Structure 1
Amino acid sequence: MARSVIVTGGFGILGEAVAQAFADAGDKVARIDFAPEAKAAVAGALDIGGVDLTDAASTEAALDKVTAANGGIDVLVNVAGGFTWETLEGGAIATWAKMQSMNLLTAATITQLALPALKASAAGRIVSIGAGAAIKAGMGMGAYAASKSGVHRLTEALAEELAGTSVTVNAILPSIIDTPTNRADMPDADFSTWVQPGAIAEVIGFLASDAGRSITGALIPVSRGS
């Protein structure tokens, strides 16, 4: 039976790959994004743009559209987020708040509001995008890593909170993802060592499947290149 799947940040490179993978599996997919519209279509997907996922009212309205169209929520994939490289000495304290807002508060807000629907599912799944860089932060990665570490702690705490329910909660910890933006930012890097968006989508698909039902509270590194 087709599941109702939400992918936040679904208009981006990784979000698009994740949404496409679920759509290819026959699921009903909704993409929610801060951007007003997607650059590339995913056939059959419900696209909801212009959503501030740190705003409860805006997020609730988007969730209402999803449940009305797709009949509930079975899988929530928190891809929405952002990245900033900035040293503490040369940067702004406002960057720390921005990273917390983009990476942690977006996930916490929509997850909290989607919990009733996810708990009503026979097999609810929450998968968030953490970061390998949040395990050991390098120079200039402090604000980003701190926010992604928050995603890791949210994942662990929520998994315990939902023990005994139908819902599992896990996070993927990618290394550098092979995207056009990252290639432009690091043109001299060995792209073959970077993780493909489709590979991350496959791991998320497994965690969301029945085969992944016994995995919860896990922080799973995904770091192998092509």
Structure 2
Amino acid sequence: TSLLEGLSGILKSNGDDTKLDVIVCAAGGFQMDPKMPYPTHTHDEVCDIAHNYSESIEQMLQVNLHPPLAANFAAHQHMNADGLFVIIGATAALNATPGMMGYGISKLAAHHVVYTVGETTLKSNVTKAKRKAMQPVRKHAPYLDTLSVVGVLPTTIDTPANRKSMPDGNFDTWVQPDDIAKEIGNWTKTPSLRPHSGALVKVVRDKTGAAFRLVR
């Protein structure tokens, strides 16, 4: 609600008819799962570990799933025609994530937002039957006719926080934030360059900077 209220206030200050052309949900976070208990732990210690584990999962859902859900609600209220809605996911969540269950689950759920909302639009690549089934949804949300929803799934992004948490990482293989921003800018300026709505696009570092590969 804070996001929606703040956004509504900003847009209203620019005029009642002000809409958004693009929403990029880049909020997120990462942490490893707490270690599981050993047979030597006492009952109280096991309970403490279970509590920490539960809190860890909840925190990952709060930072990685709740923002895309809130951004989707904002899009429903404020998106312009031919809009672009981008959610930053994670390549890691395309596979099993041992040792980081909370992170993997939360990012996979964010991907689910991408293709669920994406399939309600007319820009998706679903079957005619599915598209027809979504007509009642689009009837009350005309912006969905021309909306493009895309999930951008980087490998590790080269940020100060990631460098601090992974000082031994190979920074040369990390994706630069500017490369992601540049591609989103291209999609914004030229809608024909956008992937289909509901697409998941993997981003990896290559010799030219970054390569964007469709994975769904």
When normalised by structure 1's length, the TM-score is 0.68
Once the two structures are superposed, residues 26-77 of structure 1 have per-residue CA deviations (whole angstroms, 9 ceiling, x without a partner) of: xxxxxxxxxxxxxxxxxxxxxxxxxxxxxx2x12211212322452111110
Given that residues 91 and 153 in structure 2 are in contact (C-alpha distance below 8 angstroms), is that contact kept between their aligned partners in structure 1? yes
Once the two structures are superposed, residues 87-123 of structure 1 have per-residue CA deviations (whole angstroms, 9 ceiling, x without a partner) of: 46165111111111111111102311331321xx231
Q: CA deviation at 1:141?
A: 1.7
Given that residues 207 and 215 in structure 1 are in contact (C-alpha distance below 8 angstroms), is that contact kept between their aligned partners in structure 2? no
Secondary structure of 1:124's partner? strand
Given that residues 121 and 197 in structure 2 are in contact (C-alpha distance below 8 angstroms), is that contact kept between their aligned partners in structure 1? no
The structure 1 segments of at least 4 consecutive aligned residues displaced by more than 4 Å after TM superposition are: none
Structure 2: distance between partners of 1:103 and 1:69: 30
Q: Summarize the Cα distance change of 1:214–1:74 in structure 2 as closer, same or farther, 3 Å threshold.
A: same
1:12 aligned partner: none
1:96-115 matches, cutoff 5 A: 96-115=57-76
What residue identity is the alignment partner of 1:77?
V
2:108 aligned partner: 149
More helix per residue? 2
Secondary structure of 2:205's partner? coil
Secondary structure of 2:82's partner? coil
Once the two structures are superposed, residues 134-181 of structure 1 have per-residue CA deviations (whole angstroms, 9 ceiling, x without a partner) of: 011333221011101011111001011122611110110000111112
1:68 aligns with 2:37: no
Given that residues 150 and 200 in structure 2 are in contact (C-alpha distance below 8 angstroms), is that contact kept between their aligned partners in structure 1? yes
Once the two structures are superposed, residues 164-212 of structure 1 have per-residue CA deviations (whole angstroms, 9 ceiling, x without a partner) of: 6111101100001111121122222221111001011122223333233
1:80 aligned to which of 19, 24, 27: 27
1:215 aligned partner: 196
Structure 2: distance between partners of 1:122 and 1:184: 41
1:194 aligned partner: 174
1:92 aligned to which of 35, 50, 53: 53
Q: Summarize the Cα distance change of 1:137–1:87 in structure 2 as closer, same or farther, 3 Å threshold.
A: farther
Given that residues 63 and 114 in structure 1 are in contact (C-alpha distance below 8 angstroms), is that contact kept between their aligned partners in structure 2? no
Is the deviation greater in 70-79 or in 168-177?
70-79
Structure 1: distance between partners of 2:56 and 2:28: 13
2:77 aligned to which of 107, 116, 126: 116
Given that residues 171 and 219 in structure 1 are in contact (C-alpha distance below 8 angstroms), is that contact kept between their aligned partners in structure 2? yes
Secondary structure of 1:223's partner? strand
Structure 1 or 2, whichever has the larger Rg, is 2
Given that residues 150 and 195 in structure 2 are in contact (C-alpha distance below 8 angstroms), is that contact kept between their aligned partners in structure 1? no
1:138 aligns with 2:90: no
Q: Unpaired runs of 5+ in structure 1? A: 1-55
Secondary structure of 1:147's partner? helix
Secondary structure of 1:195's partner? coil
1:173 aligns with 2:153: yes
